Chain A
Amino acid sequence: MEFFQRFAIPHPSPAIYASMVAIALVSIGIVVGLTYFKKWGYLWREWLTTVDHKKIGIMYLLSAILMLFRGGADAIMMRAQLATPEAKLLDAQHYNEIFTTHGVVMIIFMAMPFIFAFMNLIVPLQIGARDVAFPRLNALSFWLFFFGAMLFNISFVVGGSPDAGWTSYFPLAGNDFSTSVGTNYYMIAIQISGIGSLMTGINMITTILKMRAPGMKLMQMPMFTWSAFIANVIIVFAFPVLTVALIMGTTDRLFGTNFFTTGNGGMDMLWANFFWVWGHPEVYILILPAFGLYSEIISTFSSRNLYGYKSMVASMVIISLLSFLVWTHHFFTMGQGALTNSIFSITTMAISVPTGVKIFNWLFTMWKGKIRFTVPMLYSIGFIPLFVIGGVTGVMLAMSAADYQYHNTMFLVAHFHNAIIPGVVFAMLAGLTYYWPKFFGFMLNEKIGKSTFWLLSIGFVLAFFPMYITGLDGQARRMYTYSEATGFGPLNMVSFFGAGLMALGFVTIVWNIYYSFKNSPRDIGSDPWDARSLEWATHTPVPVYNFARMPQVNSSEAFWDSKKKGHQLFKGEYQEIHMPNNSGVPFVMSAIFFVAGFSFVFALWVPAVIALIGIFICMGLRSFELDHGYHIHVEEIEETEKKLGGAK
């Protein structure tokens, strides 16, 4: 019995017991459902073992939406607790756990898979490739992310959630102050999914550099592909820092090392330093692909080519370098001297310049364009003013002297939500609506989509703009309650109301998907938006080999040229297509990673060692496996093409 006590929740509440029951019921429901409908084989063959970039993209998408709702539930609970002074909905410990998991889930397990979803779905199609460079590695990336996310998410029913903030600063996150296994979950779950992200980075860079269609030069790639390329370069250089910091944190907690302790030569501030060396580039990893999506959408719905293509690329390259030069602005108040703070203030202000260039490029793209106000375009237009406010408050925070006033207040919370929600979340929803027909074969309902946009925008303004004011008035972040005398009550109530509107907005997305699935017409052709780049040149739904013949490219808008200027995109006869085989190894190996991670969290050494051996066996098997893939024959291609409506 003593053995099992470690799995108990240190700080339980009825809500957590209810979640346990709910999780058990849903799991049983899934197993029973799969067995009843005899779908186990289908699930294994078509999804769990797939190496197809489109299916992996869809799985990323589903996971991201799932995590969006989990993180959203956390957010609603926080806003409800703060809606009135001295509320008793959550106690301090629960509030700590909830703001920690909200941050981690939203950044690592919602925003990251969302951008990976679009990279997987779009990049190979935009450059005219049949798949990514390393399809099986891609599957491994996804499953590592997925099992990392699952490991993190079971923390609140097994052993207790992390409670040291999503930044997990030491010494608070050390063994002295965080005694539950929560922070172990943080260290190990992020580590596992971080390995997956690093692999995706390598995979995507190789894909973009090596697998472009004949004739496509680097400066002719569509803007989303450029943004994905730069984001992945940042991933490859930033994630190793996180990996190392997490390993050091793990050994501090599990093996008694002294990297981040306050005694024995350890330095707790080193964690904050490392965390933000990764953390600031991470912001740009998320925002650049979002910018890429906006570029595609704005140019499509303005019926104009993207203004300032070269300056767009140049600004992203500059951002990729500058993003590594600004990390100290996250801890101006840590105690370093004025010289250091001044240097990082200046670099921080400098990074807003290339971002400003991009804003003007989008405005000039729309200038004199024939704008169609579709749902993706609404998000993009709404993004510009809202994001500029986020950017301007960012420059306010960048002034290190003034930052002493703003630091750790709700002003900061308002600022970064103001940058991330219109910047990343709106882009993801715009991209979801824009690319939905390509992958699912029907359009999402425009009317419901527009109400979603308005609910989210108004909800966002009401939820976060009051925080600027309460922050300047002195409301600190991460405080679970406040007294009535502070006068923060009414504005926090407005915030709660705004959060409710946003929640309603997210519910309408689910309703929209259901409604459109039932009612939308299916004969939409392959190019429903009258778009400009290559991903729309193939059929809907996209056949497994993407393009029957390789597209010939000689501009950044080859598909538009083929529609309007008589450019011939596809030439020659069909040829045999070489495709990669499916494999169950990535799934199995990631599942073993989950077991290893869980064992490490609870310091169960025997299963941990066994699982690690299992991981090495999987890697060894791959090394000795001969797998040449398979070929799709010309007759099969002709048949598929005929069924899908003939090649263009």
Chain B
Amino acid sequence: MKELFPAKQVMGFVFSLVLTVVALLVYFTDMSFTVGMTVLLVTAFVQAFLQLVVFMHAGESKDGRSIYTTIFYGAIIAIVTVFGSLLILIWDM
């Protein structure tokens, strides 16, 4: 019975709800912009990672490492695009 109960998923679900509540606090309480933004970014990335690992089963297949390689590649391109655009349009305009 123990191995049939999806403990990991239930925990993950509860934790993702907690993350959502924390993110909502930014709206309902009075925080400075910096603090609020930090909270939002951190909860967003933890949430995305949680969904990926717990509910989309990243890393559970035989070539589990390939998905992290892909995410790493994607992250590099996203970072380059975002910071490149900031450089072009704001910092060096």
- Do residues B93 and A324 form an inter-chain contact, with CB atoms below 8 A? no
Q: Is B88 an interface residue (CB 8 A)?
A: yes
Q: Is B24 an interface residue (CB 8 A)?
A: no
- Do residues B89 and A269 form an inter-chain contact, with CB atoms below 8 A? yes
Q: Interface of chain A, helix or strand or loop or mixed?
A: helix
Within the complex, what minimum Cβ distance (angstroms) separates B87 from chain A? 6
Q: Is B84 an interface residue (CB 8 A)?
A: yes
Residues of A close to B81: CB separation below 8 A? 241, 277, 324
Q: Is A325 an interface residue (CB 8 A)?
A: yes
- Do residues B74 and A336 form an inter-chain contact, with CB atoms below 8 A? no
Query: What CA separation (Å) do A328 and B87 show in the bound complex?
Result: 11
Query: What CA separation (Å) do A540 and B73 show in the bound complex?
Result: 40
The proximity string for A residues 60-84 relative to B, scoring 1 for CB distances below 8 Å and 0 otherwise, is 0000000000000000000000000
Residues of B close to A335: CB separation below 8 A? 93
Query: What CA separation (Å) do A233 and B77 show in the bound complex?
Result: 12
- Known interface pairs A273-B85, A324-B80, A324-B81; A337-B92 also in contact (CB < 8 Å): yes
Chain A residue nearest to B78 (CB atoms) is A237
Q: Interface of chain B, helix or strand or loop or mixed?
A: helix
Residues of A close to B87: CB separation below 8 A? 336, 340, 343
Which residues of chain A (204-237) have a CB below 8 Å from chain B? 209, 233, 237
Chain A residue nearest to B93 (CB atoms) is A336
Which residues of chain A (312-362) have a CB below 8 Å from chain B? 321, 324-325, 327-328, 334-337, 339-340, 343
Residues of A close to B93: CB separation below 8 A? 335-337
Query: What CA separation (Å) do A209 and B93 show in the bound complex?
Result: 43
With beta carbons under 8 angstroms apart, the residue of A209, A269, A325 that contacts B80 is A325
Query: What CA separation (Å) do A325 and B85 show in the bound complex?
Result: 11
With beta carbons under 8 angstroms apart, the residue of B66, B73, B92 that contacts A237 is B73
Residues of A close to B74: CB separation below 8 A? 237
Give the bracket for the number of chain A residues in contact with chain B.
Answer: 20 to 34
Within the complex, what minimum Cβ distance (angstroms) separates B62 from chain A? 11
- Known interface pairs A241-B81, A325-B80, A328-B84; A267-B73 also in contact (CB < 8 Å): no
Which residues of chain B (34-93) have a CB below 8 Å from chain A? 66, 73-74, 76-77, 80-81, 84-85, 87-89, 92-93
- Known interface pairs A237-B73, A237-B74, A273-B85; A336-B92 also in contact (CB < 8 Å): yes
Within the complex, what minimum Cβ distance (angstroms) separates A346 from chain B? 14
Residues of A close to B76: CB separation below 8 A? 321
Residues of B close to A237: CB separation below 8 A? 73-74, 77
- Do residues B89 and A270 form an inter-chain contact, with CB atoms below 8 A? yes
Residues of B close to A340: CB separation below 8 A? 87-88, 92
Within the complex, what minimum Cβ distance (angstroms) separates A64 from chain B? 28
Residues of A close to B88: CB separation below 8 A? 273, 328, 334, 336, 340
Query: What CA separation (Å) do A277 and B92 show in the bound complex?
Result: 18
Query: What CA separation (Å) do A233 and B73 show in the bound complex?
Result: 10
Residues of B close to A325: CB separation below 8 A? 80, 84
Residues of B close to A334: CB separation below 8 A? 88
Query: What CA separation (Å) do A327 and B85 show in the bound complex?
Result: 10
Residue from B66, B84, B85, B87 having most chain A Cβ neighbours under 10 A: B84
With beta carbons under 8 angstroms apart, the residue of B66, B73, B77, B92 that contacts A339 is B92
Within the complex, what minimum Cβ distance (angstroms) separates A194 from chain B? 17
- Do residues B77 and A324 form an inter-chain contact, with CB atoms below 8 A? yes
The proximity string for A residues 255-291 relative to B, scoring 1 for CB distances below 8 Å and 0 otherwise, is 0000000000001011001000100000000000000
Query: What CA separation (Å) do A339 and B87 show in the bound complex?
Result: 9
Query: What CA separation (Å) do A427 and B93 show in the bound complex?
Result: 40
Query: What CA separation (Å) do A250 and B87 show in the bound complex?
Result: 26
Query: What CA separation (Å) do A328 and B85 show in the bound complex?
Result: 9
Which residues of chain A (490-548) have a CB below 8 Å from chain B? none
Residues of B close to A270: CB separation below 8 A? 85, 89
- Do residues A273 and B89 form an inter-chain contact, with CB atoms below 8 A? yes
Query: What CA separation (Å) do A327 and B88 show in the bound complex?
Result: 11
Query: What CA separation (Å) do A273 and B87 show in the bound complex?
Result: 11
Chain A residue nearest to B88 (CB atoms) is A336
Query: What CA separation (Å) do A273 and B80 show in the bound complex?
Result: 13
Query: What CA separation (Å) do A115 and B22 show in the bound complex?
Result: 48
Query: What CA separation (Å) do A277 and B83 show in the bound complex?
Result: 12
Residues of A close to B92: CB separation below 8 A? 336-337, 339-340
Residues of B close to A343: CB separation below 8 A? 87
Chain B residue nearest to A337 (CB atoms) is B92
Contacts A/B (CB < 8 Å), 22 sampled: A233-B73, A237-B73, A237-B77, A267-B89, A270-B85, A273-B85, A273-B88, A277-B81, A277-B85, A321-B73, A324-B77, A324-B80, A324-B81, A325-B80, A334-B88, A335-B93, A336-B88, A336-B89, A336-B93, A337-B93, A340-B92, A343-B87
Besides A270-B85, A277-B81, A336-B89, 4 other CB < 8 A contacts? A233-B73, A267-B89, A321-B76, A324-B77
Interface residues of B (CB under 8 A from A): 66, 73-74, 76-77, 80-81, 84-85, 87-89, 92-93
Interface residues of A (CB under 8 A from B): 209, 233, 237, 241, 267, 269-270, 273, 277, 321, 324-325, 327-328, 334-337, 339-340, 343
9 A-B pairs closest in CB distance: A337-B92, A340-B92, A336-B88, A324-B77, A336-B92, A237-B77, A273-B85, A339-B92, A277-B81
